[in-house]
Structure 1
Amino acid sequence: MLPPNDHEIETLEEFDRVAAAGSLRGHRVQSVDLTTRTPVLLSADTAEAVFLGCPMEPAAAAHVRSNGALVFPPVPDVPLDPYRGRLYSPESLYEGLADGYPATPDARAYDWFLRTRGRGDIFASMLRGIHDDAVSDAFDELLDGERVVGVMGGHAMERGTDAYAGAARLGRALARTGLMVATGGGPGAMEAANLGAYAAPFDEPMLTDALDALAKVASFRPSVTDWALAGFDVRDRWPGGGTSVGVPTWFYGHEPSNVFAPHIAKYFANATREDGLLARCDAGVVFLPGAAGTVQEIFDTTTPNYYESGGAPRPMVLVDHAHWTRTLPAWPLLRALARGRTMASRIALVDSIDEAPEALARLSGA
């Protein structure tokens, strides 16, 4: 049996390297254009191989099928690749942004989702499921060997505010400790934390200047185009920023993906996205003030901690005493659930966002 993942081929370079040995037996080839590799496909052993969305000449497709391979051809008239082998990038989602956001792959995918969901189209539903599974696989490959910290918070936090600047400082501080910052990938607090991680390799003045530049387009409303372009302008001005991951969803497609996470795991199913994001935050989660979505994320993280499933409880830091004890009193319930359990030593409530990195480090050593 092949070791896990060693049988996946996701680029033409990988294909050529494997095929050079004369056998593709048992491999899974994802979204690789093989139209120029017909001689190789006609000669290689492809028994038990699976080709997922790989364009190839009809003769090559017929041959590999007859040799025992499964071939799932590319799907026409769908604005995305359900078999993709890599996560999205901001550039891939926003291609064509100069012509306006509606022209981008991101916007077209959201439109397709709304149309097909409304019809109850089982074929489209199947494609969405395949897509989300492929994204999860690529997500796991990206995070292999990484320690991941989540930063959760609401989408309404605007650029130019003290709260936004604080979330950016938080992302920067966490990234500078060597952690992979993961967010919900959208605007607001999510964008700010991804921006901070992007700013991690630069000196402090870069983040200050970037915040000032972004404040000129405070929100994605009324223009996603202007909002995204402002983000790309910052990236163009300071290329080569730090890495992080955003995990947005077309379920909330009216909230666009931010451009500061170089790696974007975008899903159709919000439940898959939420659970997958939080489950991968093995270094803990920081919860900034938010509304229903952030409250849900608090208790999605609490449940495995409460039942002590999946190893040691993950640290949880809630930021803003007033918000989490009076506005939305999640903290008293969280503390009550933790009473007498191991997770009690892994939760903290802090007043200031600048206290969060130290609190997280303290809980991690508990």
Structure 2
Amino acid sequence: MSDRETRRHPVRDRLGRRSDDPAYREVHDATALRRLTEIGGSLAGWRLQGLDLQPHADHLSRADVRGLVVLGGEVPDALAQSLVARGAVLIPRDPSCPVEPFRARLYSPADLYGGMEAAGYASTVDARAYAWSRETRTLHDAYATLLRAVHDDAVHDALVEALTGRDAVGVMGGHALERGSSDYIDAARLGHALAAGGRAVLTGGGPGAMEAANLGALATTRESLESALVRLAEVPSFRPSIDEWAGLALSVRAELAVPEGGARSFGIPTWFYGHEPPNVFCDGIAKYFSNALREDVLLAQSTGGLVVLPGAAGTVQEIFQAATPLYYAPDDLPIPPLVLVGLEHWTETVPVWPALRALGTGRPLGDVLHLVATPQEAAEIVLG
């Protein structure tokens, strides 16, 4: 069984059940389903999430399935009819929906950009999901709204599972930062320093500073990072061509060595801003339809601290959204650092710092606020 299942139900037998376990259990990978069917017995109360049931049709056609719930996945028609007739509940995916609402894993860059080389970005899951979410037919349709909500809940579950046991640091910054600029290079080196220090790096998953930090975290050596930075500068922005921007990035990613010791670069983008493509330098991508949920998740999962690079309105929103729970934190509860990078930017261009200092006076928030000149200083604070 997966880490997610064992967190919900301590393991006692071959299926991970105890006698006092609740009835409801989730299976969301083929290995766990195979174990379940090999052991035999009742499937009453189980939930099968996003799985291909064809290889298990023989057992499923004979087992006790009263109360079994099948969420999405691939279910042959004959098996579906048999399951429903014997008391199971099937919730199929909508064939018009480009994504699997009941997915149990984070997206990979290949999941979102697959097929782009042959048919262009417009043909990808990422582009089609954005278009589907904006269609007049689906924008306010109750079923489409439900599918988007279910999808976001499933992706959130997968993200929490992926980050369990990891000390995660969020890196915020503007989407307009161009490859090759000094600020982009600094953001990439920040991500690399954090990952080298054992932290998982979380960003909003988009272009600009977000891409830079994810790139830095993914690169296993400083040499490979510097080489990637030079190559990426050939296409500074996703405008006017996402195909060229993402195509070059995918080529660069393919040349980077796979990190040892687990994933350390994560992106949390949103189709609400679907005109901004996700960056490909992530071990896992949690892409949400709801931007409000995505913002909250990104900040909540940044348990090891938050580093904020220069940005505009969106970044300012994130700063105060992060500061609010720190402001109300109990005096005896340790809270992570909130580090702003850019003395002039945050005191004069966008004068957020004076407001933060005023809010932090006499409260625990004031002890974790930092304003520094360089990303290197920010990394030193977060890494301790």
Q: TM-score range by the shorter chain?
A: over 0.9
Q: Secondary structure at the match of 2:336?
A: coil
Q: Within the alignment, does 1:153 sit opposite 2:157 as a pair?
A: no
The one-letter amino acid paired with 2:328 is Y
Spell out structure 1 runs of 4+ moving beyond 6 A.
Answer: none
- Tell me, in whole angstroms, the C-alpha distance in 2 between the residues paired with 1:211 and 1:57: 48
- Tell me, in whole angstroms, the C-alpha distance in 2 between the residues paired with 1:295 and 1:216: 30
Q: Secondary structure at the match of 2:354?
A: helix
Q: Within the alignment, does 1:345 sit opposite 2:367 as a pair?
A: yes
The one-letter amino acid paired with 1:240 is V
Q: Within the alignment, does 1:81 sit opposite 2:100 as a pair?
A: yes
Structure 1 pair 302–124 and aligned structure 2 pair: CA distance change class (3 A): same
Mapped contact 1:55–1:74 kept (Cα < 8 A)? no
Deviates more, 1:250-259 or 1:204-213: 204-213
The 5-angstrom pairing of residues 164-313 of structure 1 reads: 164-199=184-219, 201-202=220-221, 204-241=222-259, 243-308=264-329, 311-313=333-335
Structure 1 pair 298–16 and aligned structure 2 pair: CA distance change class (3 A): same
- The count of aligned residue pairs is 360
1:130 CA displacement = 1.0
Q: Which residue does 1:94 correspond to in 2?
A: 113
- Tell me, in whole angstroms, the C-alpha distance in 2 between the residues paired with 1:306 and 1:149: 19
Mapped contact 2:249–2:280 kept (Cα < 8 A)? yes
Mapped contact 1:187–1:256 kept (Cα < 8 A)? yes
- For 1:315, which of 337, 344, 349 is the aligned residue? 337
- For 1:58, which of 70, 74, 77 is the aligned residue? 77
- For 2:55, which of 31, 36, 60 is the aligned residue? 36
1:177 CA displacement = 1.1
- Tell me, in whole angstroms, the C-alpha distance in 2 between the residues paired with 1:21 and 1:116: 47
Q: Secondary structure at the match of 2:148?
A: helix
Structure 2, gaps ≥5 residues long: 10-15, 17-24
Structure 1 pair 134–286 and aligned structure 2 pair: CA distance change class (3 A): same
The one-letter amino acid paired with 1:217 is V
1:3 CA displacement = 6.1
- Tell me, in whole angstroms, the C-alpha distance in 1 between the residues paired with 2:108 and 2:244: 19
- Tell me, in whole angstroms, the C-alpha distance in 1 between the residues paired with 2:251 and 2:269: 21
Q: Within the alignment, does 1:103 sit opposite 2:123 as a pair?
A: yes
Q: Which residue does 2:20 correspond to in 1?
A: none
- Tell me, in whole angstroms, the C-alpha distance in 1 between the residues paired with 2:216 and 2:184: 10
Q: Secondary structure at the match of 2:187?
A: helix
- For 1:4, which of 4, 8, 23 is the aligned residue? 8
Q: Which residue does 1:326 correspond to in 2?
A: 348
Deviation per residue, 1:147-172 (Å, 9 max, x gap) = 11000001000000110000000000
Structure 1 pair 116–262 and aligned structure 2 pair: CA distance change class (3 A): farther
The one-letter amino acid paired with 1:340 is G
Q: Which residue does 1:19 correspond to in 2?
A: 37
- TM-score w.r.t. the length of structure 1 is 0.94
- Tell me, in whole angstroms, the C-alpha distance in 2 between the residues paired with 1:293 and 1:116: 26
Q: Which residue does 2:13 correspond to in 1?
A: none
- Tell me, in whole angstroms, the C-alpha distance in 2 between the residues paired with 1:225 and 1:94: 10
Mapped contact 2:98–2:128 kept (Cα < 8 A)? yes
Structure 1 pair 119–319 and aligned structure 2 pair: CA distance change class (3 A): closer
Deviation per residue, 1:258-303 (Å, 9 max, x gap) = 0001200001110000001101111010000000111111111111
- For 1:140, which of 154, 160, 182 is the aligned residue? 160
Structure 1 pair 122–150 and aligned structure 2 pair: CA distance change class (3 A): same
Deviates more, 1:62-71 or 1:330-339: 62-71
Mapped contact 1:8–1:28 kept (Cα < 8 A)? yes
The one-letter amino acid paired with 1:269 is S
Superposed CA RMSD? 1.9
- Tell me, in whole angstroms, the C-alpha distance in 2 between the residues paired with 1:39 and 1:51: 16
Q: Which residue does 1:357 correspond to in 2?
A: 379
Q: Secondary structure at the match of 2:54?
A: coil
- Tell me, in whole angstroms, the C-alpha distance in 1 between the residues paired with 2:45 and 2:301: 29
- TM-score w.r.t. the length of structure 2 is 0.89
